[in-house]
Structure 1
Amino acid sequence: MADATLEFLLGNLHQLRTHQVHLLGDAKEPVENLENDLRVFKAFLKDSAKKQRKDVLLRELVRRIRDVVYEAEDIIDAFVTQAAETQSKSYFLRAFQTQVKLNGVATEIERVRAKVKEILYGDILTIDFASLSVGDGGTSEESKAPLIRQENVVGFEDEAQKLIGYLTEETHQLDVISIVGMPGLGKTTLAGKVFRDPTIMYEFPIRIWVYVSQKFTRKDVFLAIMRGFTRLDNDMYRKNEQELAQLVATRLEMGKFLIVMDDVWTVWDWEELQIVFPKSNKMGKVLITSRHVDVTRRFNPNRSPQKLRFLTQEESWLLLCLEVFGKLMCPPELEDLGKLIAKQCDGLPLAIVAIGGILLRKFSKSDNMSSRKEAWTKVSKNVNTACFLYLGMFPKDFEIPIWKLIRMWISEGLVEDQYGISLEEAAENYLEDLINRSLLRVEKTRADGRAKTFRMHGMLRDFCIKEAGSERENFLQEMKRSINGFEPSIAELQKFRRLCIHSNILNFISLKPYGPRVRSFVCFSKDEVALPTENASAIPAAFKLLRVLEANSIKFTKIPNDMYQLVQLRYLTLSTDLAILPAAFSKLWNIQTLVVDTTSRTLEIKADIWKMVQLRHLKTNASTTLPKTGKGKEGENIQTLGTISPQSCTEEVFERARKFEEIGHSWAISFTFRRHEWII
């Protein structure tokens, strides 16, 4: 779940920087920095997905990442929502309050960044990011040094040459050089490449590699250095730290040497170890790798640390080829898939090496190219656990419409962009995967044989509710009536992110719930509930950051003004008696799916749907009069439109209809279409 949320947040941050950059003000740089910090989480979350259940520490780490991502998401969404609310106020008040909020969001983002850094670089958890897979920075056994990668080293040529230059230049005292970077970027690999370089081997007759790690003892480190000078005997092992420190310092006072101190964690670790390195020996070099940039600044204040970068797309593809095929080639049938997989690794060597190992096994299992391609296709698709757990939002034994579910998934950001296909097609692939695994039972099919509705086994739904609950993933929560009110209590709503309630809805609303973090509010009651006028604003006032509001079983007798302030809304199902959809709906500029179910026989849409650039699906059950079409590309993203009235069957609408996937039509519309020679 954390990776889906993270993907959606990164998309929102990019959109905010691209399209609403004027809102950011002083927060622009913090937002950009946060985006960069969060980017490195993605590969770790993907690599850890199958290991979480067996590894308690890893599960705890993913939970911490999830909580930080959620917090960042809340800050960004709340900021955009509050900024939208100020637009209806006076100019002076709007300008003043907006600046206050900008200053506040900058501070909040920096606070979240501090938490991100704590997870990336902190020493609270004893788990090492790099232990998630083969590569830089450690193994699953803390006491065991990582294997130093010697083959298929890609993307370090420029960094290696710079380091070799530092190591071979003359200085006036002991020179300490550091490599810093995220776990998985290849610090150990780069240090190993330099360590084995012929120039360095010639320059330094004494070269010693010491693996420090988070949990080290000074004695072990001193013994490792001594091992580079002499064969250790029992007398050497019996010496204490002070005696060993004196021996090492004596050995290092004269002559040229290069000592690599791999994976140093804290400033205090270096303070404890540096006593053996004589500053007066200007021929000595120490190369340190660390994931902590603040630590490396203390090693040598006169020299900036060597910061590793992410691999480019070309380098990522090159490394993947070397990992899978051992050479710079790939069968043409697999090249597009391979490049897509390499791109998904976000330039992180650790992720590329891990995925490369999987593809190598997939490649060698069969000589049949179609089988290989199918296997690679599966690797390129992530199993979407979040989409599966989202099914817990529906009641037991409920016949779930696939059209509705897919749009809800997309609106919640649970469906990732995939090259060459639409979000709807990607979501259908997820669903097909769940059906093929016998997790869902198809109930109805379309004329073309595709599934139309399905049901979920009650035990599987119980699993979703339990797994996705607040005690585990904090992904969704079902509200149920209890003796004392509701279970969980109304007071606990502030920590939940998705709510479903399928009975006692009016009782729930009358308690004035408040869920500032809720993104989905879903009601599938068997009975229609008429919302009293005095409670019309209860839902939008309670859940200001909603993305999905599925409230078809709740009838709104009036549309409250608060509804138009839900600017994060992407999916809205509305049940009403109204014959007019107000123009104010245009304020919902994020809306992707709008479903209006009215008791009126006709519906006039005042909102300018053609300028709602995110709108993809508009479904109505009444004969609908559309607003006049604009010029150019307005409305080009709309894929579904129905049901429209005869007077809205204009040439301009027909022109746009060429791109529509569906057009609902009554007999009158069918007649009009035929008159214009449009047969649907």
Structure 2
Amino acid sequence: MAPGGVNIPQFLDLSSNIQRLSIDIYLTIRKAFQSNLPRIHGLGYVDCHLNNLKKFQILHSDSLASVMDKLQSIQKEFESLQPFLQAVAEERHNDLDEIQHCATQLIGKAHEVEYIVDACIREEAPVWCLEHWIIHIMEEITLIREEVAEIREKKMDLVALNTVPVHTSNLARSPMMNEEIIGFEDVIEKLRDQLIKGKKGRDVMSVVGMPGLGKTTLAYRLYYDKSVASHFEIRAQCCVSQVYSRKDLLIAILRDAISENFECREKQADELADLLRKTLFSKRYLILVDDVWETSVWDDLRGSFRDSNNGSRIILTTRDHEVAMYTKIRSDPLLLRMFNSDESWELLRKKVFGEESCSPLLTEIGQQIANKCGQLPLSVVLVAGILAEMEKKVECWEQLANNLGPHIHKDSRTVIEQSYQILPYRLRPCFLYFGALLEDSVISVPKLTQLWISEGFVKSCEGKRLEDIAEGYLENLIGRNLVMGTKRSSRGKIKACHIHDLLHDFCKERAKDDMRLLWQKWDQNANPSSRLSGHKQLAHRMCIYGEGYRAGDWSSCLSHVVSIILHNNRLSVGLDSHIFHSFKFLKVLDMEFTRISSFSFDLVYLRYFAAETSRFSNKAGCRELETLKFKSLSEMSLPITLWEMDKLRHVDISDCSFTSEISRELIENSKDLHDLQTLSTPCFSCAQEAELILRKTPNLLELRCKVKGVDYFQRYVLNFPARIETLKIHLSYTPDTKTIPFRISAPTLTNLTLKNFYLYHQHLSEIGSLQNLQVLSLKGISFKTYKWEVRNDEFPQLRVLKLHAGKVHFENWSVADDAFPNLERLVLRDCKFLKEIPSWFGEISSLKSIEVRNCNKNVDKSASDIRETQVEDYQNSKFEVFITRENNKSDSDYED
């Protein structure tokens, strides 16, 4: 025993035990954290991580002092490996599983460093544990870097590595957007006749078939068929799926039948059903009800579909013959047949080669592959997506034919799995993310790409917008036939997309493990804590569906969740925003249809937020926020806090103003929002307010806004940001004074929408002189002397012109010979006083179609005369005219 009574052997033994115990504790903590990480990651995550790491070292230098040197070393390691991640994003390593494994490992380390930094700042873990952890991470990153170098050296020549071509997908492959759909010609002709020429009584056309057979594609082809569309006064659609809400179905149909901006969330389902019944009453209507699983759906809707003995029709698709028989009125259900061999090969050939020819050798093996698909269109399309990525060589196709096996038509998952396995690493999380969205939903492309970016799926590339890169990812998925584009804008960009329910099932199931995605369906009586307690080590992302949620103590068991999506919540009372405060790593909080008490979060990693609220707190501290969307439940002035969120890229607000007398000076002295690209539906009350906001957002690309207070805008010239491309301005009233509220200076503009303006000739000429303008929509516009004179050389690049007169008198229209030289589409709605369409439109060689909705007989006749000129004098046989005499929402593939 040593002097002082200390037993040295016992002391050393105790010290050794403490050290072993410390290591066990550290390993337990780390293992638990790692078990919660996804198996695949977004390649853009490290970009976000590096930005945060640099920022936190400055803001929290005291809290991070003990690990500062190590963090700086890790930062340098990550920066040195950025070119490697960029190469993976560009598919230069796509054929090597080891390289992709290294990328996964590296991004996993970034997640761990993020946790360590947060734990240091919050003092939520022992310093010795975090120091031990970070030392191990440094060693592991070094090993990853060495492994990457070794693989490069052993397995590939660096020059060859950098010259592997990147596949560029062709948007034209999307079957939902005007593409000629192969097969079922006999079926389509029969159903078209039943829709148009059948008996006068109301009838249901049921299409029954197995998954992947093409029921939905067939139904939509009929729905959008021009002869069918012109026959019905009202057309509307809804998609049901396994989990549905009667209220949601009624809202979807009403928005097609009345207006896509129709607001009805406060109404009960029975009220909506009665409103739909009154809307359809006496009208000849066509309703498409897609993907019906239960007879209860028909019970929920049938009361609104009154029979006025005028030829109204309902198209219904289902897998269940019993459902089809239950809905039968007159016509027997159509049992959709399988593809025949010729149809299977023609679809495969068209998807792979387009209009190009196929060599005889590839034709032979291609027909064998098509036959292996079991005459199931979905299997054919998915296999075509695989072939499109391969070299067009017989040996490559033979290898695929051997790999497919003899029974793929019995198990579509086999084909989906093969399509997934050949996806580049960067596309895998993007594809699986569809599993976090509702089955059968039509997905807004801007929202989807914003979510991908916020999740860290999109790798930055110098000189390119993240949004453009993300759209490229989507185009690639569409090109591989894994996603369908469903709607285009007037300028040809994809606005919405959709995924087949079998593919959705695959994504949902695969994402459960690979992305740690947890789905929960809750009701108002559920106990969230008990539901989630068994998943607390599994959830990295949460999707919740239900009619109401209890704000129980469920957030504490899911503190590592990085994204939460709440689907279709209809709470009458808002959620308390404080329940999300313990989600300290939250990056995405999408509650688009959910009311919350206020926007008062201090979530340092939050990048995407959407909800309904009536209060925006001055204490909100989400400095990393990039996308902010909320619908104001009452008129609200946004606080100065917003101008501290200098990473905002997209702001979508409703009925909110930016300034008050108090805040105007504060905004003047605040930072400019240099990254802001889109700003939607703020309300400006005076020109000075609008001018201030435009000056503080110098790189704005797209602005949608409301304007009130005409007296404060008269004769003002608004100078819009130098890069503005899309501008949509809505006066919240029809002006009483005979003057334009303000003039527009925006030479880069490509898309302009004006509503409720009073325009003089000089103002129209100013708009006509915009050299880059491609789309012009004029709604409720008043013209001086009720006349519009279009002069020589005006509108040189305009492709789409939409005139919606409403109650405004618009009588005379003259067009000079050199105007509209590139016009492709003309749309006239409610121009009841217009005497005629100028005959010059018959001379415009680029014109493809004229749509006339609810105008008068003279306008109808002049449209037909223009078609006659185009067809007979210029042999433009594809020129189309669509005339509808009743008010019906436009549902063309090309919209604003």
**TM-score, length basis structure 2:** 0.40
Question: Quick check: 2:528–2:554 contact (8 Å CA) kept in 1?
Answer: no
Matched to 2:676, the amino acid is I
In the other structure, the counterpart of 1:592 is: 626
Out of 85, 107, 116, the residue aligned to residue 75 of structure 1 is 116
Cα distance between partner residues in 1 of 2:119 and 2:459: 23
Name the CA shift for 1:45/1:620 in 2 (closer, same or farther; >3 Å). closer
Gaps of 5+ in 1: 83-96, 122-127, 140-145, 153-360, 362-380
Question: Quick check: 2:577–2:601 contact (8 Å CA) kept in 1?
Answer: no
In the other structure, the counterpart of 2:654 is: 621
Gaps of 5+ in 2: 1-39, 162-390, 392-423, 719-743, 745-751, 753-896
How many residues of Structure 1 are paired with residues of Structure 2 in the alignment? 410
Out of 611, 616, 625, the residue aligned to residue 574 of structure 1 is 611
Question: Quick check: 1:479–1:501 contact (8 Å CA) kept in 2?
Answer: yes
TM superposition shift of 1:26: 3.1
Cα distance between partner residues in 1 of 2:425 and 2:564: 26
Cα distance between partner residues in 2 of 1:22 and 1:667: 48
Instruction: Name the SS of the counterpart of 2:496 in structure 1.
Output: strand
Asked if 1:634 is matched to 2:672, the reply is: yes
Asked if 1:410 is matched to 2:453, the reply is: yes
Name the CA shift for 1:416/1:23 in 2 (closer, same or farther; >3 Å). farther
In the other structure, the counterpart of 2:570 is: 528
TM superposition shift of 1:575: 1.2
For residues 617-650 of structure 1, what are the alpha-carbon distances to aligned partners after superposition, in whole Å with 9 as ceiling and x for unaligned? 2211114233422248522332222322314734
Matches within 5 A, 1:195-594: 383-470=426-513, 473-480=514-521, 489-503=532-546, 506-507=549-550, 511-512=554-555, 514-525=557-568, 527-530=569-572, 536-541=577-582, 543-559=583-599, 563-576=600-613, 578=614, 580-585=615-620, 587-594=621-628
Question: Quick check: 1:494–1:516 contact (8 Å CA) kept in 2?
Answer: no
For residues 555-595 of structure 1, what are the alpha-carbon distances to aligned partners after superposition, in whole Å with 9 as ceiling and x for unaligned? 11345xxx43211111111212x2x422112x221111111
Matched to 2:624, the amino acid is N
Name the CA shift for 1:59/1:556 in 2 (closer, same or farther; >3 Å). same
TM superposition shift of 1:546: 0.6
Matched to 1:453, the amino acid is A
In the other structure, the counterpart of 1:608 is: 641
Asked if 1:677 is matched to 2:717, the reply is: yes
Question: Quick check: 1:649–1:673 contact (8 Å CA) kept in 2?
Answer: no
Matches within 5 A, 1:76-155: 76-79=117-120, 82=122, 106-116=131-141, 132-133=151-152, 135=153, 138=154
Out of 68, 79, 82, the residue aligned to residue 28 of structure 1 is 68
TM superposition shift of 1:41: 5.9
Matched to 1:539, the amino acid is F
Name the CA shift for 1:115/1:485 in 2 (closer, same or farther; >3 Å). same
Question: Quick check: 1:469–1:475 contact (8 Å CA) kept in 2?
Answer: yes
Out of 648, 662, 668, the residue aligned to residue 702 of structure 2 is 662
In the other structure, the counterpart of 2:684 is: 645
Name the CA shift for 1:619/1:481 in 2 (closer, same or farther; >3 Å). closer
Matched to 1:630, the amino acid is E
Question: Quick check: 2:532–2:557 contact (8 Å CA) kept in 1?
Answer: no
Name the CA shift for 1:28/1:402 in 2 (closer, same or farther; >3 Å). same
Question: Quick check: 1:51–1:58 contact (8 Å CA) kept in 2?
Answer: no
Instruction: Name the SS of the counterpart of 1:621 in structure 2.
Output: strand
Question: Quick check: 1:396–1:458 contact (8 Å CA) kept in 2?
Answer: yes
TM superposition shift of 1:489: 4.2
Question: Quick check: 1:495–1:517 contact (8 Å CA) kept in 2?
Answer: no
Matched to 1:582, the amino acid is S
Relative to total residues, which structure has the larger helix share, 1 or 2?
A: 1
TM superposition shift of 1:422: 1.7
Cα distance between partner residues in 2 of 1:22 and 1:407: 35
Cα distance between partner residues in 2 of 1:443 and 1:597: 26
Cα distance between partner residues in 1 of 2:538 and 2:93: 23
Cα distance between partner residues in 1 of 2:97 and 2:461: 32
Cα distance between partner residues in 2 of 1:27 and 1:486: 36
Cα distance between partner residues in 1 of 2:647 and 2:481: 34
Cα distance between partner residues in 2 of 1:476 and 1:417: 25
The root-mean-square deviation of aligned C-alpha atoms, in Å, is 4.3
Question: Quick check: 2:522–2:548 contact (8 Å CA) kept in 1?
Answer: no
Question: Quick check: 1:468–1:474 contact (8 Å CA) kept in 2?
Answer: yes
For residues 409-460 of structure 1, what are the alpha-carbon distances to aligned partners after superposition, in whole Å with 9 as ceiling and x for unaligned? 2222222221212222222222222223332222222222211121122222
Instruction: Name the SS of the counterpart of 1:26 in structure 2.
Output: helix
**TM-score, length basis structure 1:** 0.52
Matched to 2:586, the amino acid is L
Cα distance between partner residues in 1 of 2:135 and 2:573: 42
Cα distance between partner residues in 2 of 1:48 and 1:131: 16
TM superposition shift of 1:405: 1.6
TM superposition shift of 1:493: 2.6
Cα distance between partner residues in 2 of 1:606 and 1:56: 50
TM superposition shift of 1:391: 2.5
Cα distance between partner residues in 2 of 1:510 and 1:401: 33
Q: Which stretch shows the higher mean deviation, 406-415 or 627-636?
A: 627-636
Name the CA shift for 1:665/1:481 in 2 (closer, same or farther; >3 Å). closer
Instruction: Name the SS of the counterpart of 1:608 in structure 2.
Output: helix
Question: Quick check: 1:502–1:523 contact (8 Å CA) kept in 2?
Answer: yes
Name the CA shift for 1:494/1:669 in 2 (closer, same or farther; >3 Å). farther
Matched to 2:517, the amino acid is L
Out of 13, 26, 50, the residue aligned to residue 10 of structure 1 is 50
| Percent identical | 22
Name the CA shift for 1:62/1:658 in 2 (closer, same or farther; >3 Å). closer
Cα distance between partner residues in 2 of 1:150 and 1:569: 40
